[in-house]
Amino acid sequence: MLIVFLLTFLLQYASCANILYVAPIASPSLQRWNRALAMGLRNRGHNVTMLSHDAEKGPPIQNFTLILLEGIYDILDSKFVSNEIKEDTAIKTMKALFKHVEFCCEYDFNTTGFKTLQEYPKKFKFDLIIFDSSYGRCFYPLVTRFNNPPAVAVTPYRLPPILSNAFGNHLHTSYTPYYNTEFSTKMTFLERLLNFFYTFVEVMYRKNSFSPKENKLVKDYFGEETPALRDYERNMSLLLANVDFIFDFPMALPPNIIPVGGLHLTPSKPLPKDLQKIMDDSKNGVIYFSLGSFLRSDKLSATQKTNLVEAFKQLPQTVLWKYEGGSIEGLPKNVILRKTLPQNDILGHKNTKLFITHGGILSTQEAMYHAAPVVGIPFRSDQRANIRRMERRKTARLINYNNLTVTHILENVKEVLNNPIYKTNMKLVAKRYRDQPMTALQKGVYWIEYVLRHKNVDHLVLPARDMDGYQTANLDILACLLLLCLSIYIAYLFLPTAINVTYETLRNHIQAK
């Protein structure tokens, strides 16, 4: 028995890999998703080095090294107010996002953390590089820097059209809504027209406007001989995307795009003693209120905070409020403020009756996993889209940020609390999501190890990846058929006339002789 154990241990150790995980997205929330995947790989015995903007809390972790891209949150906080409402169009939001990515790339190249990674020995070996490819590609030349190991792309930002297209997926705009819109899978003609426009504008904007800037930036830093970023991207055969057919909607995906929606989700753990007592002693249940890791509820206007407090005062439930500031004047006894709260563990407690949230991707996934009905107060277009989709499924209600009155808050909160349909539907979503042969994290780890075992996984890539869009949509075939039909129709219209004219000409010619 001891021999079997030792052989198993040695076999596992021998198969461990040295992995570089590049997660440059400046978002504490989305970093949780990346970190969950990194920890999943680390727990399998792999050695993971992570490049990230988010520092680790707590003591060092064995087989895990963080290289910090320091200081960007201070810069971002000084550039704009996190709670600023964005009512821009989908196109303006898209352009602003690409501009943000360009700024982050320029900033990251000059950080001490990135220079630390660049100073690794020239022959240092990584067996695999994982890139968070949500929008930026400026770190792709690290593949060359570390002697061309295989690479895998991941995105916690659902499945952006630019990535879906880049990995060979046909963009089904007739029933796959653009992520920054409130469209459903059943769109009107006008909505389908706009959806088609938004989707392909993003794809073309990246290809024709942003890519030249991105390539120039990379060549200025890594050298003129650096290959084009599209070549690096083409050599990545696999993409793990934070989408799930239960949480989101059914979608057609090629074999090399793996849905691992909610891989950060875990069962709830016991709460700290003080919070556990609050949760257990709340006879009427608990309402959990949080605007996520980036937005701050203490930055709400004085009127909005007063209205929230007044509304909460009229509820019998205990309200746990993640509030980043100091105290609030006139706070009722049933409202408890904390600067940090263990969201996952609170949502998983049996006494949690409602989650009031900004509607971020990870927060809504956690709510559905733990079957916690939602009232959403979205600040940005993607958050609004998330809550609208849940509202259609009768698992959430949306409160307009500009209509945060006492009456409106109470109306929506009481509707979700008192109407059992919201809890019932949430339980159904949670039950369906959990009924899978393996967890999303296990699936993600399996496919990364698959790449480690096989190196090149081009056998999973559709030929569509190397074809133009007009070919995959058969537009050239349709154009040819249309031209043929048009030719036949023209012939049908003019052939009798041509025959008559020819006949008359010949007859006149014969008679003239």
Rounded to whole angstroms, how far apart are CA atoms 211 and 69? 23
In a domain, 247, yes or no: yes
Q: Is residue 221 classed exposed, middle or buried when 0-12, 13-18 and 19+ CB atoms within 10 A define those classes?
A: middle
Question: In sequence order, what are the beta bridge partners of 321?
Answer: 289, 337
Indicate if 426 and 455 belong to the same structural domain. no
Residue corresponding to tokens 């790449």: 451
CA distance 502 to 510: 12
Residue 8, in any domain of the structure? no
Whether residue 194 sits in one domain with residue 72: yes
Which tokens sit at 478?
A: 């349709």
Same domain as 284, residue 331 = yes
Q: What is the pLDDT of residue 370?
A: 97
Interstrand relation of 335-338 and 352-357 (parallel, antiparallel or unpaired): unpaired
Residues 500 and 451 in one domain: no
For residues 377 and 481, state if they share a domain.
no
Range of the domain at 295: 273-432
| Total residues belonging to the chain | 513
Strand bridging mode 128-132 / 64-68: unpaired
Model confidence over 8-27: pLDDT tens digits? 443 444 468 999 999 998 88
What does the buried/exposed string (b/e) look like for 479-508 if buried means 16 or more CB atoms within 10 Å of the residue's CB? eeeeeeeeeeeeeeeeeeeeeeeeeeeeee
What is the tally of structural domains in the chain? 3
Its sign, for the CA torsion 173, 177, 181, 182, is positive
150 domain residue, yes or no: yes
223 and 277 together in one domain: no
What are the distances in angstroms from CA 421 to CA 275, 287, 353, 394, 416? 28, 18, 13, 7, 8
Concatenated DSSP letters of 9-77: HHHHHHT--EEEEEE----HHHHHHHHHHHHHHHHTT-EEEEEESS---SS--TTEEEEE-TTHHHHHH
Q: Are the CB atoms for 210 and 125 separated by under 8 Å? A: no
pLDDT means over runs of 10, the chain (513 residues): 45 71 89 95 96 90 94 75 58 85 91 94 94 92 94 94 93 91 92 94 92 93 92 93 92 94 94 94 95 85 91 95 87 92 94 95 95 93 89 94 91 96 96 95 97 91 86 88 91 82 77 69
SS3 103: helix
Q: What is the pLDDT of residue 453?
A: 94
| C-alpha span between 333 and 306 (Å, rounded) | 15
- Same domain for 230 and 292, yes or no, is no
> Domain check: are 478 and 465 in the same one?
no
pLDDT at 253: 94
Angle between helices 189-205 and 90-108 (to 10 degrees): 20
**Domain for residue 3, yes or no?**
no
How buried is 35 (Cβ within 10 angstroms: 0-12 exposed, 13-18 middle, 19+ buried)?
Answer: buried
Helix (H, G, I), strand (E, B) or coil at 298: helix
Residue 512 falls within a domain, yes or no? no
CA atoms within 13 A on the CB side of 204: 9
Report if residue 4 sits inside a domain. no
Residues 94 and 220 in one domain: yes
As a whole number of angstroms, the distance between CA 80 and CA 296 comes to 13
* pLDDT at position 497: 80
88 and 169, same domain (yes or no): yes
Q: What values do phi and psi take at 374, rounded to 5?
A: -125, 140
The pLDDT assigned to 83 comes to: 52
Name which of 228, 249, 258 is nearest 167 in CA terms: 258
* Residue that is last in its domain, among 432, 461, 489: 432
Domain assignment present for residue 5? The answer is no
Q: For residue 386, what is the domain's CATH number?
A: 3.40.50.2000
Q: Do 246 and 361 fall into the same domain?
A: no
Q: Do 284 and 264 meet the contact criterion of CB atoms below 8 Å apart?
A: no
In terms of domains, do 251 and 178 share one? yes
Residue 513: inside a domain: no
CA pair distance 104, 405, nearest whole angstrom:
37
> Would you tell me the crossing angle of helices 28-43 and 361-369 to the nearest 10 degrees?
60
CA distances from 371 to 313, 350, 355, 422, 423 (A): 25, 10, 10, 9, 7
Question: What single letter denotes the amino acid at residue 345?
Answer: D
Q: How far is CA 464 from CA 93, 254, 381, in A?
A: 29, 10, 31
Handedness of CA 117, 20, 60, 290 (dihedral sign): positive
